[in-house]
Structure 1
Amino acid sequence: MATEAAADDATDASETYEALLDRVRRWNTVGSAAGVLGWDQQVMMPEGGTPARSKELSTLSSIRHDMITDEATGELLAELDDADLTDERAAVVREVRREYERADAVPVELVEEISETGSAALQAWEEAKAEDDFEAFAPHLEKHVELKREYAEQIDPDRDPYEVLFEEYEPCLSIDRAEAILEELRETLVPMIDAIRDSDADLAVDTFEGTFPEEEQEELAREALELVGYDFDRGRLDVSSHPFTAGNQFDCRVTTRFDESDPLGAIGSTVHEYGHAQYNLGLPQEEWGTPLGESRDLSVHESQSRLWENHVGRSRAFWELFLPRFKERFPETDEATVEDAYEAFNQVYEDNLIRVEADELTYHLHIIVRFEIERDLVRGDLAVEDVPEVWNDKYEEYLGVRPDTDAEGCLQDIHWSHGNFGYFPTYSLGSVMAAQLFAAADGEIDDLGAKIAEGDFDDLQEWLGENVHQHGSRYETNELVERATGEELSADAFTDYVEEKYGELYGI
């Protein structure tokens, strides 16, 4: 009898689980449709489409919210509280419960208002950036700050609102751990950058000076994507004001941007976005719409893009492979050597103001500026009207440069137009994780550098697929990293990597 009862309980739990999974797939399908509309808004939508698109995205957002927070979702989760589930099913329930509990705490009217505010703010940001007019964007930023404070308060009124928002992007690592890693990066990088700027190293930084037509750069970017293995049958390359990736394992699209004076920047951003896309395209197709078919979080996502951009795209091995193709597009660089390309792509800038154009080291100081400002905005320690001055002061203090305009200062990033407070720390967390993952892959793959130089990326893609992509959100962040590398997430591999690499480049 006991055996029969246990079997009946298992059957009931299985049926309940499948009913829950059906609901999850449906609301994620709605979210996926909203994602396509969001991509279109940034890439192809005519400028006049914003009023309708705001309503479309707001409606889809509220529909999805209603589906998540429906009473039936809570009932199904409650029925599974004490169920004997497989590890994979338990992970799915864990992720769904986290999403449900956060969504259930927030009124649908607030969700709609946040979505609608984001659509209007995106257009306002694009216009404000083009016109160098922060005051035109400020009311939208103020509105986002107010709404996101309210959002955080609805979820947990007794906690730091910024901590609550950070969990939207990195739910598995504490804000204290994130701040500790950022602090370690600052302590390592600031003196290193000072030493580099005081060094007498004569890098070939002028090798790629000149004018490089956008059309040719776009063809070269497409060639770079083909070279590293981007599946154009499930993706596409477009241009946007801020490079981004959007999609899933069946359809994942990348965008980049071009500066006719900086062809290396376009290659870097394109390879970066490829890393994001490769992660999405490598998720299990049979698990689409469920947590097992979704990426872990933004720190892990950023680890994939930074791994491809920095550990592959900035390597000597990659330029052994790619430089002949570059020269073919731009014959004026025919005299450049692999070492010239490597040095030019890895120089540490004296006066860079733009995060997405930053070198590998100063990049993290750009992140720290944004992190500190958005944290203080959300906590109420900084007024929106004071953002430009505080931004400029921090740039002068941390990077030794001061923006002349807000377009190259506090208006340069798209994130705040979406209300994405808490997003920026994941960039540095991802860079740290990328170094740890690449070091592990390099230790397991024979002659990885030689394979990259030959254009053979199969082993690296397979390693990342087995250790990261195939798991979706089954494991929480630190467990995923520990399973892949044998060590808990730390900044050690990153600091070792930059000290060795830049020590050799600059003789420090």
Structure 2
Amino acid sequence: MSAQSDETYETFLEQVNRIEYLDDASGYLSWDQQVMMPEGGTPARSKQQSVLSSLKHEVLTDETVADALDELDAADLDERQQAIVREVRREHERAVRVPRDLVEQLSEASSNAIPVWEQAKEEDDFDHFAGTLAELVELRREYAAEIDPDRDPYAVLVEDYEPYLDIETIESVLEQLREELPPLIEAVGESDVELTDPFTGTYDERDQEALVRDALDALGYDWDRGRLDTAPHPFSLGTQFDARVTTRFASDDPMKALGSTIHEFGHARYTLGLPDEEYGTPLGSSRDLSVHESQSRLWENHVGRSRPFWEFFTPTVEDRLGIDTTPQALYEAANEVYDDNLIRVQADELTYHMHILVRFEIERDLVRGDLEVDEIPGVWNDKMESYLGVRPETDAEGCLQDIHWSYGNFGYFPTYSLGSMLAAQLFDAAEDELGSLDEDIAAGEFDRLAEWLTENVHSHGCRYTTPDLIREATGQNISADPFLDYAREKYGALYDL
């Protein structure tokens, strides 16, 4: 680069750093609101979040950023610099179309919505949340229209979470799952095989916490850069210097806390694997939510639900929970298919995607104006009955169970299924290169897998688009086939199909 371009790039990078730092600060305030903040803190927190979102928007849309992007387009940039400019340009071009007051309204409305959703869920009262949800839907429609009034608003919103996979690709993947998973789920339901469930009593929360901490220790969670807490809806959040996980406990089923903790570990392990030296730039940030979800689903399902994992972890379960069991019994308990399960985060690998389809279709129709907010409970229940053969008796275990819509996160849910597809591809690619990982997992040795993921996924940050990243890591385009092959083989063996 010329001296002038070099100076422009350095000034531009300072602005990029400010954007990233503001975003991270907002994230930790959100973590605090869900985990530690006193109930009465919402009015102040919503104002704080509104200011931070406004400041980020102000920096991102500043004319100096626009001028720098234009100048750098003509500069001789290396691959790393080109990726940073590409990512910031994408964000800038979207943000500059959205008025700052709308950004502030969205941030404040979503912060205010969280306790409303929590109370509505606790009291099983959808009407209590309906007005708030309607406001969020309308604000998101306005947001999408500001970005591109001539496009499908739902497609515009999806790009906030997965910018490099178009809606047609996403819908084709979900359509393949809709067509090919139900026959497998039906065959499992008709099987005479009854899987073992060794959990017949109640289990103290302190014992369960000790158990999930043991799991995090074994998997290699860096406690110097992380922590474990509880939240109404488990999540992970942070940076490569501070990536936190949350879980929740059910007294009658320790598998729920263990599964959610390993899932969130996968998110945190990705975040902690991002390059330290790139913090504050897109190369030190995760590659959007489909890839992020691939990491959590890989550790939760391909590791934590595997037979070798239970060969390793069974003695710890016996010690912490005071039960006498076997690796096979725990493997079966971790993989039982429940066609009557109402709760997404407790779903097995197969029916999970039917839960995603319910949410995807509802939020898509809601944003497009084909569904009214007050119709959601009835439509939700009808879809659950159609896809899963079970009808919720309460809205708390139906349309109020997820926190995402209270954030205004419409377009988020497809990334869960996409992440499962990518997880299968990435795990296959890791074993193609490293050989079978069964012996490693059975011995409680996870370093080779973790290092492969860091080298092939985490270390790149946002250097590549999602399709390019998967091609770089696996040599293949994104496909649902590896997941479907894995599911048929695994559950065919479990249920003697």
Confirm or deny that 1:199 pairs with 2:199.
Answer: no
Alignment-derived partner of residue 430 in structure 1: 419
Among candidates 304, 307, 315, match of residue 295 of structure 2: 304
Among candidates 111, 118, 138, match of residue 110 of structure 2: 118
CA distance in 1, matches of 2:8, 2:199: 61
CA deviation after TM superposition for structure 1 residue 175, in Å: 0.7
One-letter amino acid of the counterpart of residue 397, structure 2 = E
Alignment-derived partner of residue 383 in structure 1: 372
- Counterparts of residues 176-191 of structure 1 (less than 5 Å): 176-191=168-183
Please give the per-residue CA displacement for 1:233-289, whole angstroms capped at 9, x wherever unaligned.
000000000000010000010000010111011110000000000000000001001
Among candidates 103, 106, 128, match of residue 136 of structure 1: 128
Please give the per-residue CA displacement for 1:458-502, whole angstroms capped at 9, x wherever unaligned.
100110000000000000001100111111110111011001001
Among candidates 283, 298, 321, match of residue 292 of structure 1: 283
Confirm or deny that 1:347 pairs with 2:339.
Answer: no
Q: State the SS of the aligned residue for 2:246.
A: strand
Among candidates 145, 156, 168, match of residue 160 of structure 2: 168
CA distance in 2, matches of 1:196, 1:11: 66
- Counterparts of residues 9-158 of structure 1 (less than 5 Å): 10-158=2-150
Give % identity: 63
Please give the per-residue CA displacement for 1:190-217, whole angstroms capped at 9, x wherever unaligned.
010011101111211x322221111111
Please give the per-residue CA displacement for 1:117-166, whole angstroms capped at 9, x wherever unaligned.
00111010001000001000001100000000000000000000000000
CA distance in 1, matches of 2:113, 2:259: 28
Q: State the SS of the aligned residue for 2:245.
A: strand
CA distance in 1, matches of 2:298, 2:4: 44
Among candidates 239, 250, 255, match of residue 259 of structure 1: 250
Alignment-derived partner of residue 283 in structure 1: 274
Q: State the SS of the aligned residue for 1:24.
A: helix
Alignment-derived partner of residue 456 in structure 1: 445
One-letter amino acid of the counterpart of residue 101, structure 1 = E
CA deviation after TM superposition for structure 1 residue 185, in Å: 1.1
One-letter amino acid of the counterpart of residue 501, structure 1 = K
CA deviation after TM superposition for structure 1 residue 11, in Å: 2.4
CA distance in 2, matches of 1:350, 1:175: 29
One-letter amino acid of the counterpart of residue 385, structure 1 = D
CA distance in 2, matches of 1:81, 1:484: 28
CA deviation after TM superposition for structure 1 residue 350, in Å: 2.7
8 Å Cα contact 2:208-2:321 kept in structure 1: no
Among candidates 193, 198, 212, match of residue 221 of structure 1: 212
Q: TM-score, length-normalised on structure 2?
A: 0.99
Alignment-derived partner of residue 239 in structure 1: 230
CA distance in 1, matches of 2:48, 2:171: 37
Gaps of 5+ in 2: none
How many residue pairs get matched?
A: 497
Confirm or deny that 1:366 pairs with 2:346.
Answer: no
One-letter amino acid of the counterpart of residue 202, structure 1 = E
Confirm or deny that 1:506 pairs with 2:490.
Answer: no
Confirm or deny that 1:443 pairs with 2:398.
Answer: no
CA distance in 1, matches of 2:200, 2:423: 30
One-letter amino acid of the counterpart of residue 214, structure 1 = E
Confirm or deny that 1:482 pairs with 2:471.
Answer: yes
CA distance in 1, matches of 2:438, 2:189: 29
CA deviation after TM superposition for structure 1 residue 178, in Å: 0.5
One-letter amino acid of the counterpart of residue 294, structure 2 = S
Q: Identify the range of structure 1 (239-248 vs 195-204) with the bigger mean alpha-carbon deviation.
A: 195-204
Confirm or deny that 1:325 pairs with 2:316.
Answer: yes
One-letter amino acid of the counterpart of residue 456, structure 1 = E
CA distance in 1, matches of 2:227, 2:466: 29
Confirm or deny that 1:413 pairs with 2:402.
Answer: yes
Q: State the SS of the aligned residue for 2:2.
A: helix
8 Å Cα contact 2:228-2:245 kept in structure 1: yes
CA distance in 2, matches of 1:171, 1:350: 33
CA deviation after TM superposition for structure 1 residue 369, in Å: 0.2
CA deviation after TM superposition for structure 1 residue 14, in Å: 2.0
Q: State the SS of the aligned residue for 1:80.
A: helix
CA deviation after TM superposition for structure 1 residue 111, in Å: 0.3
Please give the per-residue CA displacement for 1:17-63, whole angstroms capped at 9, x wherever unaligned.
11111100012111111111110000000000000000001111101
Q: Identify the range of structure 1 (366-375 vs 195-204) with the bigger mean alpha-carbon deviation.
A: 195-204
CA deviation after TM superposition for structure 1 residue 446, in Å: 3.3
Gaps of 5+ in 1: 1-8
CA deviation after TM superposition for structure 1 residue 73, in Å: 0.7
8 Å Cα contact 2:339-2:351 kept in structure 1: no
Q: Identify the range of structure 1 (25-34 vs 106-115) with the bigger mean alpha-carbon deviation.
A: 25-34
CA distance in 2, matches of 1:486, 1:209: 45
CA distance in 2, matches of 1:209, 1:303: 32
CA distance in 2, matches of 1:460, 1:498: 21
CA deviation after TM superposition for structure 1 residue 403, in Å: 0.2
Q: State the SS of the aligned residue for 2:138.
A: helix
CA distance in 2, matches of 1:491, 1:34: 34
